[in-house]
Amino acid sequence: MKKPSVELKLPIIPNMELIATQTAEVIARHMNLNDEQSGEISMALIEACINAFEHSKSDSNVFIHFLIEEDSLIVKVIDQGIGFDKTKVEIPKIENKIGKEERKRGWGLQLIQELMDSVEFESNSDGTIVTMKKNINK
């Protein structure tokens, strides 16, 4: 039997990431995830959406695919932006930001990786696919 999935198409409009989190909450309830797991998925999704919005042109869309597996939820955030080189993204540390000229932002990838069980990035000049997986603790 085909595994259930949910797909969203989000325009690049401020706060559209909240539509994705509302969908994630419904799916999390369907999968009987606990509040902690649901919150982690929503927070990671917000960060992935914000990154996708920032990399994309204003007239394009960001696509979110939720793939409901028996023992996990897989969330793909797909943009058609300019792409990025993950090896050039430094791991942020607050000690390097407080009292320094360094910009205070740049936490998205770190949060996504901390909050999800696995994360994969595929990126080139045609866009980026972030694949995030949350294992279900039963």
Which of residues 6, 111, 129, 136 is near other proteins by CB under 8 A? 111
Which of the residues 45 through 84 are near other proteins (CB under 8 A)? 46-47, 50
Instruction: Verify binding: residue 18, other proteins, rule CB under 8 A.
Output: yes
Long-range contacts: 33-42, Cβ < 8 Å, 24+? 33/73, 33/134, 33/136, 34/137, 37/134, 37/136, 37/137, 40/115, 40/116, 40/134, 41/73, 41/75, 41/115, 41/116, 41/132, 41/134
Minimum separation from the CB atom of position 87 to other proteins (A): 21
Which residues of the chain form contacts with other proteins (CB under 8 A)?
14-15, 17-18, 21, 35-36, 39-40, 42-43, 46-47, 50, 92-95, 97-99, 104-105, 107-108, 110-111, 114-115
